Structure 1
Amino acid sequence: MGWLEGKVALITGGGSGIGRALIERFIDEGASIGVLERSEEKVKELQEQFGKKVVVVQGDVTLLEDNERAVAETVRVFGKIDTFIGNAGIFDYFVSLLDLPKEKLDTSFDELFGVNVKGPLYGAKAVLPELLKTQGNIIFTVSNAGFYPAGGGPLYTASKHAVVGLVRELAYELSPKIRVNGVAPGGTLTDLRGPSALGQEKQTQSKVDNIKDLMKTTNPLHVVPSPKQHTSAYVLLASNKDSMAMTGVIINSDGGLGVRGFHSAAGGEHL
C-alpha cells in the first residue's frame, strides 16, 4: 500500500518536468490525480498515458475560472480533493535588470508574476472549499531562487520569494484545518519555458549552453537531480499521517545551496 492510498490530488502544470513526475509518483503511491494544464498537446498525452487514473483540464492558471473548472471536474470524477499542488511556473532565463528592455518590463513582469504567483494563489482560492471538507493540504513548488540570488533574474527571483510568502501566510491563515507547505527544487533539467513577452516561450533549460555543468558546480553535492528525484518531498508533505505536524515548511531539495557560504568562509574544498 502506498503513502497516498485513496487520496486525490490536483496538480497544475502537470504536462512535463516536475509536474509530470509528480503525477507518476502520486499514482504509484495510490492517489488519483486531477490536472490543470495549458498545452493542448500535453493534455492529450496525459490522458493517453494515464487513462482513468487522471482527469485533465486544459486551462490557464492565471484565470480563476479555469482553476475552478479543474477543481469541479476533479471532484466530479473522484469525489474529493485532499491535496492541491501549485506547480505551474515559468522562468526568466537570468535576464538581468540591466538587460530587461524597459518597453517590455510591464508585460514580462505581469506574465511571469501571473503564472508564478497569481497561479498558485488562484488555485488555492479555488480549491479551498474542498480542502476544508477533507482537512487536506496545499503544496507550492518554490525554487532555490525563493531563498538565494542567482537562481534566475530579478523577475523570477522576486516571484519565488513571493511564493515563500504565500506558503507562510496561508499556513498561518488556514491552520488548523489545512496544512500549507512547499518544496524548493534546485537546478533541474525540465521543459521550463520563459515568458512570451521576452520572446522566451520556446526556450527550454536543455538548450542553455553548459547548463548541466552550471547546475552541478553551483551546489555542494554537485548534483543535477531529475524531476523524479524531487517527488519524495511532495509525497511526504501530502501525507497527513506522515507530516501531520508540518505547516509553513519548505523543503529545500537543492543539493545544499544553503551551506555554500560555509565552504567559502572556511576556505574549505570539496572532498
Structure 2
Amino acid sequence: MSGWLDGHAALITGGGSGIGRAVAERFLAEGASVTVLGRDPAQLDQVAGDPSRVHKVTADVRDSGALHAAVAETVERFGKLDTLVANAGVWDYQRQLTRLSGKEIDTAFDEVFSINVKGYLLAAEAAWPELVRTRGSIVMTLSNSSFYVNGGGPLYTASKHACLGLMRELAYELAPKVRVNGVACGGMNTDLRGPEALALGDRSIAASFAKRQGAPPIPLHDSGTDPRDFTAPYVLLAAREQSGTITGHAISADGGIGVRGFARAAGGDHL
C-alpha cells in the first residue's frame, strides 16, 4: 500500500460516524494506522479497515482522563501519534434565539460548548506532548458556521466561531513543532445529532436531508453531501510532506457558500 499517510498514526474523536468515520477510513486507505474514539461502540465497530491498523476506544470527549488514555493507547499500539483529528460535535438544528427559553439556553449552551469546543481543547491538551515528539499536526473539523451565519442557530454558530479562534490560537502556541489547521465543511448527510438538553439527542441530520428536494442552494449545487467527499483536505493537512508550511489555516470545503452566502435574506422576517 502506498499513500500520503504511509506510516502515520492518527487519533480521531467522533470517529464512529459521519465525517469522523469517513476520515478514519480515508486515512486507513492512505496508509495510516488510526485510533477512533466515540461514545457508541456499535458505531465504532462499523469503521472499515485493516484490523491491525485500527484501534477503537469508547469514550466521551468531555472526559480528560479518557482522552489521555486514548493517546497513551495509540502510542502503545502504533508507536507514536502524528495527527489528532478533533471532530466530535453536535448540531443545534438551527434553533433560533426566539425559539429558546432562558432555561434551555442555560443547559444547551453548556452541552454544545462542552462537546464542540471544550472537547477539542481537552483532546489537544492530551495529545500535544506526543505531537511535539513527532512534529505532528492537529486538524479540527470546523464548519461554514465558523465564518457565516445561518448554518446553525446561535449556540452552534457561536461554538464553531470559537473553534476557529481556538485553532488559530493553538497554531500560534504550538508552533514551530506542531501544525494546527481546520477543515470548514459544508452540509453533510450524516448521523450528526443534536443536544440532549433540547431533546434532540435522538434526531439525526440525515432525516433533514431525506426531506430535501432538489439541489442544495449553493454554487457547487452538484457537489456531494456524502462525508467521504470532504476527506481530501484532512489528508492534505495531516501529510507533513504535502502541507509542512501550512498552519493556522482553515480550508473551506463548503460548496461555495463563502462566495455567495446563504439564500435567505433575513432571519427575522417572521417576527
Assess same fold via TM > 0.5: yes
**Distance change in 2, residues 1:200/1:25 (3 Å):** same
**SS of the counterpart of 1:45?**
coil
Q: Say whether the 8 Å CA contact 2:25–2:49 is kept in structure 1.
A: no
Matches within 5 A, 1:1-271: 1-46=2-47, 50-208=50-208, 212-213=212-213, 216-217=216-217, 219-222=218-221, 223-260=223-260
- Cα 1:15–1:156 change in 2 (3 A) is same
Cα offset, 1:105, TM superposition: 1.4
In the alignment, the residues of structure 2 paired with residue 159 and residue 142 of structure 1 have an alpha-carbon distance, to the nearest angstrom, of 10
Whole-Å Cα distance in 1 between the matches of residues 56 and 75 of structure 2? 12
Aligned in 2, Cα 1:201/1:50: closer, same or farther, shift over 3 Å? farther
Identity over aligned pairs, percent: 51
The alpha-carbon deviation at position 220 of structure 1 amounts to 1.0
Question: How far off is 1:101 after superposition?
Answer: 2.2
| Farther-moved stretch of structure 1 (224-233 vs 190-199) | 224-233
Gap regions ≥5 residues in structure 1: 265-271
Give the C-alpha shift of residue 44 in structure 1.
Answer: 3.3
Instruction: Give, as a single letter, the amino acid of the residue that structure 2 aligns with 1:254.
Output: D
Could you tell me how far 1:50 is from its partner in structure 2?
4.5
TM superposition shift of 1:23: 1.1
Report the 3-state secondary structure (helix = DSSP H, G, I; strand = E; otherwise coil) of the residue aligned with 1:252: strand
Normalised by the length of structure 1, the TM-score is: 0.92
Q: 1:105 to 1:7 in 2, by over 3 A?
A: same
Tell me if structure 1 keeps the 8 A contact 2:189–2:227. yes
Unaligned runs of 5+ in 2: 265-271
One-letter amino acid of the counterpart of residue 103, structure 2: E
Q: How far apart, CA to CA, are the structure 1 residues paired with 2:80 and 2:120?
A: 19
CA RMSD of aligned residues (A): 1.9
Cα distance in structure 2, aligned partners of 1:193 and 1:183: 20
- Across the two proteins, how many residue pairs are aligned to each other? 262
What amino acid maps onto 1:196 in structure 2? E
Shift of 1:234: 0.4
Q: Which moved more, 1:206-215 or 1:107-116?
A: 206-215
Please report how far the alpha carbon of residue 210 of structure 1 lies from its aligned counterpart in structure 2 after TM superposition: 6.2
SS state at 1:207 partner = helix
In the TM superposition, residue 225 of structure 1 has moved relative to its aligned partner by 2.5
Q: Deviations over 1:38-76 (max 9, x none)?
A: 112223334x86522211111000111111111011111
Q: Deviations over 1:213-271 (max 9, x none)?
A: 48711x1111343101111000000010100110001000001111106x99xxxxxxx
- Give the secondary-structure state (helix, strand or coil) at the position aligned to 1:242: helix
Q: Using the alignment, how far apart are the partners of 1:173 and 1:211 within structure 2? A: 44
Decide whether the 8 Å contact of 2:28 with 2:49 is kept in 1: no
Cα distance in 1 for residues equivalent to 2:91 and 2:211: 14
Shift of 1:211: 5.2
Task: Name the CA shift for 1:244/1:227 in 2 (closer, same or farther; >3 Å).
Answer: same
Distance in 2 separating the partners of 1:94 and 1:131: 35
- With normalisation by structure 2, the TM-score equals 0.92
